[in-house]
Structure 1
Amino acid sequence: LSIEIPFLNVRVMFCSGRDCSDIKENLIAVVPKIPSGIYIIHPENTDSSFEVSFLEMDYMGGGWTVMQRRSDGLTDFKRSWIDYSDGFGNLAGEHWLGLKKVFHILSQKDTRFQLHIALVSKDDVTSYASYDDFHLDNETQFYGIHLGRYAGSAGDAFRGYEQEQNQDTAPFSASDVDNDGCNPSCSLGNLTVESCSALHNQTGWWFNQCGRANLNGSPEHTESNQRTSILWDTWRQNGVPHVIKTVTMKIRRIPTNN
């Protein structure tokens, strides 16, 4: 594999790029400052290579693979299962890397991964939520999510306030694949909900009776006064959830206790 580093005008060659943490380890000895950008990785348990976005080499020590980015509203997150499985959007901007690709990265042998969620509010307040162990079930189990210990300043919206809506271990749902636990319906306040994806404007997420988090939420209208639909309910100010402007989900390998 090769990587073009424009500002150095060189092409760095390396033989192992299983994920962004691996790329960082291989390049740090020859490149003093590894730039963010679009890189090619080849997880060890798949036959194919694929591009990933921006590695976030200058964020909290670097080595991050971006699995989701929301920033400008230019990418439509109202998508079917196949899109959420394969990925969509612009790697240099808003995108969803794809459950299949993320699964390949996370399921490499002798590896553990951290999930880091960086949030920015409409008022430019920043916050984060981090999970020290993150993995997914395979496709036949609908890429169920598994989260380790929470740390951060935004609250643990994945687990929320009630066990019934705890999204940890929930399978992924999309507009055409319903695994949200509302069988045949859920009661959310005064609402009777048959599909959490439909409630969240046909977006895909790890819903469990809808829950308190959906970072893929899409607004039904684009007027400036429309409340944002990116949901992280535990991040609040004066009891009211922050209006979230941008979010990035990123993963990084962490040392194993071998």
Structure 2
Amino acid sequence: MQPVVLFLNIALFLGPCLQSMCSTEKVLENVNLPTNVKGNDCTHIKKRFPDTPSGVYLIQPIGKSRPFQVFCDMKDGKGWTIFQVRNGLDSLNYNKGWAAYKKGFGKSNREHWLGLENIYSLTNQANKTFKLRVNLKDFENGSAYAEYSEFRIDNGKNNYRLHLGSYSGNAGDAFRGSGPPTEDQNGHMFSTYDQDNDGCTPCIFDDTAIESCSEMFSSGWWFSQCGMADLNGIWHPKDNNVGWTSGIHWKTWKQLSYSLKFCELKVVSV
């Protein structure tokens, strides 16, 4: 067979394979983005532009028709997408209903909640797995963290049900808790005061019966009768942060209803 004919036959054979490879690459990392959008998420931005500093960027997750604004933490070279911050500096009210938690509120470079629909789009991209990091600080200059090897939430039809991988860190696994299995928030749906999915029928606390964890804690969260984690409760200042029912709680690290000074939730593609 002549070399030219052989080359053409090989090209015809490999053509569909090459097209498939290109198609897969576009699914893995969509670089056909609007000019004002840097990437699908902060990890993707850091990979495309290694010198990119921390800051606010527009991202457009794979499968999402419109971009949205996030704060990217680029300090460790990985590219973390932040979806929640609490520090009390903005006095931002987190006691909001389902519509607000779905859409998001606050400013990306300050206290904020990114929004359940955006978190869903971010953590359910094709061929991507996300790791969660929870950063915590108290008023005595202490700090702790919890990491989960996988993190994603379901869509709105399933009430943004929480899915977590294995835990590591020094703050304890408050999502799963140290109490009865009914308090394990992993696998549980999101709740707000106007959409109750917490499983209380009712829940009993110190001889008090409650029907809604969200109402009791003034918060939207993945409550499960009600659990040991709630980072969307009321923020309290130093010297007035202990003993409150509603607070910034991670009770596997700080017990006795200690409300934290700072918390941050962020994800990275792994």
Deviations 1:93-119 (A, max 9, x none): 100000100100111100000000000
Change (3 A) 1:15 1:234: closer
Match 1:104 to one of 113, 121, 132:
121
Contact 1:154 1:235 in 2 (8 A): yes
Match 1:169 to one of 187, 190, 195:
187
Letter of the structure 2 residue corresponding to residue 89 of structure 1: G
What RMSD, in angstroms, separates the aligned Cα atoms of the two structures?
1.9
2:58 counterpart SS class: strand
TM-score w.r.t. length of structure 1: 0.84
Larger Rg: 2
Q: Equivalent residue for 1:52? A: 70
Q: Equivalent residue for 1:247? A: 263
Q: Equivalent residue for 2:229? A: 213
Match 1:199 to one of 216, 220, 228:
216
Change (3 A) 1:36 1:178: same
Contact 1:234 1:241 in 2 (8 A): no
Q: Equivalent residue for 1:124? A: 141
Identity %: 38
Letter of the structure 1 residue corresponding to residue 217 of structure 2: H
Contact 1:114 1:251 in 2 (8 A): yes
Structure 2, unpaired ranges of 5+: 1-34
- In the alignment, the residues of structure 2 paired with residue 190 and residue 213 of structure 1 have an alpha-carbon distance, to the nearest angstrom, of 21
2:48 counterpart of 1:26: yes
Contact 1:118 1:248 in 2 (8 A): yes
Please report how far the alpha carbon of residue 218 of structure 1 lies from its aligned counterpart in structure 2 after TM superposition: 1.3
Contact 1:235 1:242 in 2 (8 A): no
Structure ranking higher in helix proportion? 2
Structure 1, unpaired ranges of 5+: 1-12
Structure ranking higher in strand proportion? 1
Match 1:154 to one of 171, 187, 190:
171
Q: Equivalent residue for 1:7? A: none
Structure 1 segments of 4+ aligned residues over 6 angstroms from their partners: none
- In the alignment, the residues of structure 1 paired with residue 67 and residue 268 of structure 2 have an alpha-carbon distance, to the nearest angstrom, of 18
Match 2:95 to one of 78, 81, 85:
78
1:244 counterpart SS class: coil
Letter of the structure 1 residue corresponding to residue 94 of structure 2: F
2:48 counterpart SS class: helix
TM-score w.r.t. length of structure 2: 0.81
